[in-house]
Amino acid sequence: MKNALVLGGTGMLKGLVLKLLDEHFRVFVVGRDAAKFSRLETMAGARAPYLTFMALDYHELGRLEQWVAHLQLMHGPLDVVVAWIHGEYTGVVETVDREVGLYRVSPWDLYHVQGIRASVSSEPKPAVAPNCRYHRVVLGYADVGSQTRWLHHEEIVQGVYDAVMKRRDAVVGTVEPYEGRPG
């Protein structure tokens, strides 16, 4: 069984967690609110035994590091990490990469889900170890004729899922023109 970690998996990426369970991943989810996780657990139904939650603020890097080490000791190395991270950039991706690197030497895949601003940002990709295949998944907007709108959760989930299944970078929806994004 492969192991996946989804940071921020109790929000708009809930559907991705369920799809990964369907793909026979054991899925680890990080969030702060256990009630949100309970709802996800209910949605998982018979797949819930393969779902594990850790209530923590991922900006607390020491706690994140300890938990990622612990889960790998118990269940083996992570194969896939999906990171949807809020707020100031504080090195969450690098922390997870370092911890995974302690448990595996073979290649693994990290999907960094980012908002549309990433499409116009010159921020370099995080410095990750050579065995980490870093993929950027940028969430854009939907262009529906004369109007634009933000993506629905199902569209976001499908776009991230496709990126994971095809092991590639992706733009979900469109990011151009940047000025065309919904207000």
Ligand X SMILES: NC(=O)c1ccc[n+]([C@@H]2O[C@H](COP(=O)([O-])OP(=O)(O)OC[C@H]3O[C@@H](n4cnc5c(N)ncnc54)[C@H](OP(=O)(O)O)[C@@H]3O)[C@@H](O)[C@H]2O)c1
Please report whether residue 57 would count as binding ligand X according to CB under 6 A: yes
CB of 139 to ligand X, least distance (A): 4
Sign of CA dihedral 175, 161, 43, 27: negative
| Binding positions for ligand X, 123-152, rule CB under 6 A | 139-141, 150-151
Structure tokens at 164: 């994971």
Residue 153 DSSP label? H
Distance CA 122, CA 124 (A): 6
CB of 1 to ligand X, least distance (A): 23
CB of 140 to ligand X, least distance (A): 6
Among 115, 134, 148, 176, binds ligand X (CB under 6 A): 115
Please report whether residue 25 would count as binding ligand X according to CB under 6 A: no
Q: How big, in percent rounded to 5, are the helix, strand and coil portions of the chain?
A: 40, 25, 35
- Chain centre to alpha carbon of residue 157: 10
* Contact positions vs ligand X (CB under 6 A): 8-13, 30-33, 36, 57-59, 84, 86, 115-116, 139-141, 150-151, 153
